[in-house]
Chains A and B, each alone.
Chain A
Amino acid sequence: MSRILIVEDDERIRSSMRLALEDEGYSITDVSSGEEAVAQFGEVPVELALIDLMLPGMDGFETCRALRRHSTVPIIMVTARSDTHDVVAGLEAGADDYVTKPFVAKELAARIRALLRRSRPDPTGQLVLSFGDVEIEPEAGVVRRAGDEVHCTRTEFRLLCELADHPGKVLTREHLLEQVWGYDYFGDGRLVDVHVRRLRTKIEPDPANPQFILTVRGMGYKLAV
């Protein structure tokens, strides 16, 4: 049974989320502040965190960054607004996905399931994928650059595998959203954009002038061959 950490200051929302997610079969640890979340995180093994952005004291962005410093656990941020700024800032703080209040429990459960999937999107059976000085071991979930291990979140890893599986082919944002996040056609393309940016800082020699993960304007992304 997967344990989920809920960080939410509104007690009623917290209780209702606990009820809804327990019904979906998850164990819940809930806290009301970012500080508590960071403290709890070391104590209890957590497989996914749901973090509200508007928290008193240490806010959702800061909490997200604090958790990311120690862990690659999937993080879904809960936001009251889907405006460009908050969503992008949350993703840049390290979140894997976001849901907007009020959310339907079934949809949230679907998002959680998508992030908890362990394997890469579409295993081709290859043991090692590589480009440039980057090596990926899909089954082991390991990425190495020039021999040193690179710490990727599960979503970054899935995105990297998807790109590396189709070297030289343009992958649309819709395709990546579906393969990596399990979204349909109307998923938020900003998820892809921010994750690509994050991946570039980890594997590109010069993230501002990428030579591996290239942007194809108006189309999507591709891995250079």
Chain B
Amino acid sequence: MGTLASDPGPTPTVPARTRLSGGPGLRARVTITFAIGAFALSTLMAGITYFTARASFLNERQAADQRQTFANALLVKNALRSPGIQVDQLIGSVDTLPGSLSVLNTGGHWYATSISLGQSQLPPALRTLVLQGTPASQIISVSGTPQLAIGVPLPAVNATYFEVFSLAELAGTLRTLAFALAAAALFTTIAGAAVGRWASGRALRPLAGVTEAAVAIAGGDLDTRVEAGDDVDLQELASAFNRMTANVQSRIEREARFTSDVSHELRSPLTTLTATVGVLEGHRDELAPRARSALDLLDGDLQRFTRMVDDLLEISRFDAGSAELSLDHVDPGELVRQAMAASERVGKDQRVHGTDVPVEVDPAVEGIRLAVDKRRFERVMANLVENANLYAGGVTRVFVEAFSQQPGDEPQSIRVIVEDEGPGIPVDERSHLFERFYRGSRSGQRAFSEGTGLGLSLVAEHVRLHGGVVWVEEAAGHGSRFVVELPIDGEGTEWGPA
């Protein structure tokens, strides 16, 4: 019976994520908000101040000018009553303020105090209105200068008197005021932004503490906690954060301890097994051929099992963060030669052929002392050699070179390069190669049943502990090239000669 509909499978669970915010940063947004607030408020205040002051100045000025105009109009009216008056002289005798102009219309003729200026200065609407008998005033602009024109009809003498005052001075005062207000508004806006920045910085300071703690935790320092201080708003966040960290920490520790405990517990039976298999090996000659074959199988898998337990214990130390470097300062060429020799010996013991490929050393490496944990480095090389043996027919080339970021500089790191002429590793598998139990497309190969599956991941962990990197690339021709790069001044705790 076949399945009719294909099973869509379980819906993949998307981890719950709380979206915190989008767009610009929190501080930037608070700063901008403060700046906008300060700008709006200061502009409003400046506007109110400006227009109130302007209206008040203008009213005052208008009242004064009207008084002047009415006084002059009265003077003109009285003068016009006297017979035989010379209007030209009359208009010339009117007492005007500097910059103001008097215009008189009597009997259809226009007279003005200025020769060049006259009735043309008067706005037509005002002129018409006043000529019809209504006193009026209007603010006009003459070649960019504001002016106040006031007209007074004098029906008793059949005349109309106009006076035009320059408001240039008032305009200047208002301009100065506007400028001062604008400057104040600008200053307030900037001050607002600054206050916003400061306030947000202050408000976010505890958040910065949390961020710092989170970064430290992400970096592996699980003992980090945040302190809330007396701030009740923050205490909740801090305690939740600390609870979360403690949970994560205890889970990680429990897991690492479990792996470590299991590995340790396995060591007791393994010790008995190893010792007794050793005894049987010693009595090999007394065994029947079939028993010898069985012993070989037993011995082979016992060694593999032991390696697995060792590797698991090593991994659990990395996971628990308790892996420590024990640094020595050594000659890199000698180190690699010794490690290759050791892997050869181990290879013989474990029935995996070792390698006798000579180690090539770049002359630039001469004289450099590399800070390295020899035991870990030996494991790195052994695992790389084993990897090549299992999957690529063995190591074909090993060389050691000094590497510097800028050509010509003092070398900062040592590169140990291990090449094989095997089938190579597909590009898309290279980044996964150093993951635990990753087999990729090699899973069908003979070696699947021989390696522990942890070798290359331990290589990566050992190298990382030194502050170095390891990667794989294509060797010239074909095959793989593993590059281990170790900083010359290694990091980590030093256990040197004391």
Contacts and interface: CB of A to CB of B under 8 A. Distances in A.
Given A23-B282, A186-B374, A190-B326, A80 B497 contact: no
Contacts of B334: 185
Contacts of A16: 271-272, 275-276, 279
Contact of B378 (A186, A192, A215): A186
B375 A186 contact: yes
Contacts of A216: 497
A84 B276 contact: no
Interface in B312-353: 313, 317, 322, 324, 326, 328-329, 334, 338-339, 342
B268 A13 contact: yes
A157 to B, nearest CB: 20
Contacts of B276: 16, 19-20
B496 interface: yes
A138 B36 CA distance: 90
B458 to A, nearest CB: 15
Contacts of B328: 173, 189
B392 to A, nearest CB: 25
A85 B276 CA distance: 30
Which of B306, B328, B338 counts the most A-chain CB atoms under 10 A from its CB? Answer: B328
Contacts of A83: 317, 322
A84 B496 contact: no
Given A102-B271, A185-B342, A190 B495 contact: yes
B369 interface: yes
B287 to A, nearest CB: 14
Contact of A218 (B278, B329, B378, B498): B329
A188 B278 contact: no
Contacts of A192: 497
B267 A215 contact: no
A104 B342 contact: no
Contacts of A129: none
A166 interface: no
Interface SS of chain B: helix, strand, loop or mixed? Answer: helix
B384 to A, nearest CB: 16
A105 B497 contact: no
Contact of B497 (A20, A102, A185, A196): A196
A59 to B, nearest CB: 16
Given A84-B324, A84-B326, A218-B369, A188 B275 contact: no
Nearest to B309: A102
A184 interface: yes
B270 interface: yes
A107 B186 CA distance: 84
**Range of interface residues on chain A?**
35 or more
Interface in B79-118: none
Contacts of A117: none
Contact of B374 (A12, A20, A185, A219): A185
A101 B338 contact: no
A101 B497 CA distance: 26
B274 interface: yes
Given A84-B326, A188-B375, A196-B498, A103 B369 contact: no
Which of B274, B278, B371, B374 counts the most A-chain CB atoms under 10 A from its CB? Answer: B278
Given A19-B275, A84-B326, A219-B329, A101 B495 contact: no
Contact of A217 (B317, B324, B497): B497
A215 B271 contact: no
Contacts of B317: 83
A28 interface: no
B252 interface: no
B271 A185 contact: no
Contacts of A196: 497-498
Nearest to A22: B279
B495 A189 contact: yes
A185 B338 contact: yes
A169 interface: no
A209 B374 CA distance: 28
B203 interface: no
B168 interface: no
Contacts of B248: none
B326 A101 contact: no
A218 B496 contact: yes
Interface string A189-204: 1101100110000000
Given A23-B279, A106-B278, A84 B267 contact: no
A169 B227 CA distance: 55
Contacts of A173: 328, 497
8 contacts: A13-B272, A23-B279, A23-B282, A83-B322, A84-B495, A103-B271, A218-B371, A218-B497
Identify the 6 closest CB pairs spanning chains A and B, nearest first: A16-B275, A105-B278, A218-B329, A185-B338, A102-B271, A102-B270
Interface of A: 10, 12-13, 15-17, 19-20, 23, 80-81, 83-84, 101-106, 173, 184-186, 188-190, 192-193, 196-197, 215-221
Given A19-B279, A101-B267, 17 more contacts: A10-B268, A12-B269, A12-B272, A13-B271, A13-B272, A16-B275, A17-B275, A19-B276, A20-B275, A81-B313, A102-B271, A103-B275, A186-B342, A186-B374, A215-B498, A218-B369, A220-B497
